[in-house]
Every structure is written in C-alpha cells, then in structure tokens.
Amino acid sequence: MQIDKDLVAASATPLVLAILARGESYGYAIVKRVRELSEGELEWADGMLYPLLHRLHRLGYVSTEWRSPPEGRRRRYYAITDDGQAALAEHKKQWMTITRALNGIWKGIELLPFAPGMA
C-alpha cells in the first residue's frame, strides 16, 4: 500500500512529537520507530526527517543537544518541550476528530447494501 504523500506529510509532525513524548531520541531511532509503528507501511525518505526536526526546534517544540556517548558516535538528541506537549495535544485532538468522522461514515457505508451493477 502506498500512502498518499500529503497524508504522510500531515502526519509527520504528530508522529515525531508523539515518539519524542515517550522519551528523547535521535533521528535514526525516530525513523526506525515510525517504521515499526506503521509495520513498514509508512515510508519516509529518511533525510526529510531532519528539516522537520529543525523546524520543530525553531518553533520551540523540541530542544536539542549534541552528545557523544563513550561507546558509539556523536549524535544529536531531541527532546520534547512543554510547548511541544501542548502542540501534540492539539494535533491529537484534530486527528481524533478526523478519524472519528471517517469511522462514522465508513461504518455507515458497510451497512448499506451494494447497488446492483456497482463494481
């Protein structure tokens, strides 16, 4: 299944914020988590995550810090801020509304008998 580009773009911010709300993380781990969560259906061009993270940083939704653990590479970690939490709550509300509306109408469609001749 190929998920529509606009839909991927629209869901990127809440997804990233929600992942960071579970604890701070870095780019590669975030992309991996998205893949796991969507069971591989949601495919990003990995690089695109970074401009998004930088935008969230500029807006004050995430804070960031370069850290070099004793083992492994120097990485840039991102953590959600209070503003980010608020933005996430707002996103959540909007997505809930949309899914509720869609679920409502789709349930209705399934109950309808198919008209003869419909493909």
Partner 1 sequence: MIEPLESEIAEWRTYVGKGPAVDGRDVEELETHLRDQIAELRAAGLAEDEAFLIGVKRMGKVDDLSREFAREHTGRLWRQLVSSGAGDEAVADRSWLEALVFAVAAAVVIQFARVASGFPEEESWLILNASLLVFPFLAGYFARRRRLPAGKVMLSALPFAIAALVVNLYPLAEGGDTQRLVAAHLPVALWFVVAYPYMSGILRSHERRMDFIRFTGEWFIYYTLIALGGGVLVALTVLILEPTGVVDAEQIFEWVVPSGMAGAVIIAAWLVESKQRVIENMAPVLTMLFTPLFAAMLAGAAVVYAVTGLGGVFDRELLGVFDFLLVVVLGLVLYRISARDPSAPAGWMDRIQFVAVLSALVLDVMVLWSMIARIGDLGFTPNRTAVLGLNLVLLVSLAGTAWLSAQFLAGRRQFHRVETWQTAYLPVFAIWAAAVVVILPPVFDFA
Binding site for partner 1 (CB under 8 A): 26-28, 31, 44-48, 50-52, 54-55, 57-60, 66, 73-76
Shortest gap between Cβ of 92 and partner 1 (angstroms)?
22
CB distance 79 to 20 below 8 Å: yes
Shortest gap between Cβ of 109 and partner 1 (angstroms)?
36
Work out the number of other CB atoms within 10 angstroms of the CB of residue 80: 23
> What's the longest Cα–Cα distance across the chain?
68
Shortest gap between Cβ of 8 and partner 1 (angstroms)?
12
Cβ closest to partner 1, residue 63 vs residue 92: 63
What amino acid is encoded at 92 in this protein?
K
Cβ closest to partner 1, residue 45 vs residue 112: 45
Cβ closest to partner 1, residue 55 vs residue 103: 55
Cα distance between residue 41 and residue 9, in whole Å: 14
Cα distance between residue 66 and residue 117, in whole Å: 62
Shortest gap between Cβ of 52 and partner 1 (angstroms)?
8
